[in-house]
Structures are given as C-alpha cells and as structure tokens.
Amino acid sequence: MKLGPDSTIVEVALTVGTALRARGIQAVLTGGACVSVYTDGSYMSKDADFIIQSRVTQETLDYAMGELGFARDQDRYLHDACPFYVEFPPGPLSIGGDTDIMAIELPFRGGTALAISATDSCRDRLAAFYHWRDIQSLQLAVAVARHQQVDFRLIKKWSIAEGCLKGYEEFRRELARTLPDADPGGRR
C-alpha cells in the first residue's frame, strides 16, 4: 500500500507492521495507534509505536522503513506525504510490571501485523492512568473496552498486582457510565 496524505493512522500502523513482518522484523504495535485500531479509528494517534522483538540493525530498519517512504530523523521515522510518524521505543514489551505480553496477529492486505491485544491495549492505557493520573488514557481504555471484547478478570487481576484496585474500580464506573450493559464481573 502506498501511504499518502489521506492515509489514516490505522493504515500507516498496519502497513508498517505488515511490511516489517514480511522482512523478518518482529515489531509489535503498541500505544495510541493500537487504540486507533481497536476503536475503529475513533481515536487518532499522531504516531505508531512498535517494540522490536527480534535482532535488527539500525541499517536494516532504516532500509525497511525507507522502502515504505519513511526517513529516520533522530528517534522517529517521518514520511513526506503522510502526516503520521513511526517510533521504535526501547523494549522490553511490557504493560506496567507485566512483561509476559503475547502479541497477536492482525490481518491486513494479504499479510499480518503484530500488535498487543485489545485487552492489553486497554491495560496499556490504564497503566498511564494509574501511574500518571492521565485522564485521557482512562477515556481511551474505556473506548477500547466499549469497542472490543476485553478480559475484565485479567485486567482486574493485573490492576491489583499494580497496586491500583481503586483505579480499576474508577475505570469500571466510567465504563458503566458510558455503556450501561457492561458486565461488571467478567467478559462482555
């Protein structure tokens, strides 16, 4: 897929993820772009963050991103025709204190991109809410839970391990306020 001025962040993220995977680079989509994927684009991140899970040299990554029209500018990759950029924050892939994260495959235009799951995307946003009191991140966690089936039991267990049960309860209240039929005990 050729990226351009009308490309969405979801198209950028999945195009990059699919192309990297096709070149043997295991990079997992995380952060706000995942929220964009899981909310069907109702949230628009300005960048796509990937955590690299395989050995890759800077030269190889630069070449792979160059094939897509991106050029490295310090720690981010910019595209002349596209308003979004791509970053590769250092690993490990983790959510709060949990480093046992399993990537899932998202099919996209004849290939697949690796990403954290909807449940992990929700937890990722909740981590920012819990630890930095970032209210937008709470709203994004709610948005993911409204658009996707997430595992509330796993999220609650993780929240307790993070020492953030009260934050989890606040998340559930906010979700119930916006989605009255949410099942407070388990999966929706």
Same domain, 23 and 80: yes
Q: Is residue 31 part of a domain?
A: yes
Euclidean distance between CA atoms 103 and 58, whole angstroms: 23
Same domain, 56 and 79: yes
Same domain, 106 and 147: no
CB 37 within 8 A of CB 29: yes
pLDDT of residue 165 exceeding 90, the answer is yes
Express each pLDDT in 17-69 by its tens digit. Answer: 999 999 999 999 999 999 999 999 999 999 999 999 999 999 999 999 999 99
Same domain, 89 and 122: no
Q: Is residue 4 part of a domain?
A: no
Query: What is the mean predicted confidence (pLDDT) over 11-15?
Result: 96
Same domain, 59 and 151: no
Q: Is residue 127 part of a domain?
A: yes
**C-alpha atoms less than 13 angstroms from C-alpha of 103 in its C-beta half-sphere:** 22
Helix, strand or coil for residue 71?
strand
Beta-sheet pairing, 47-52 with 27-30: antiparallel
Counting the structural domains of the chain, the total is 2
Same domain, 161 and 77: no
Containing domain of residue 76, as a range? 9-115
What is the pLDDT of the chain when averaged over all its residues? Answer: 94
Q: Which residues contact 43 (CB under 8 A, 6 or more apart)?
A: 32, 35, 36, 140, 143
Q: 77 - beta bridge partners?
A: 72, 86
pLDDT of residue 15 exceeding 50, the answer is yes
Q: pTM of the predicted model, to two decimals?
A: 0.92
Same domain, 14 and 58: yes
User: What pLDDT does residue 188 have?
Assistant: 43
Same domain, 98 and 55: yes
Tell me the percentage of the chain whose pLDDT exceeds 70: 95
Same domain, 64 and 110: yes
135-147 and 165-178 are packed helices; what angle lies between their axes, rounded to 10 degrees? Answer: 60
Same domain, 28 and 100: yes
Q: Is residue 188 part of a domain?
A: no
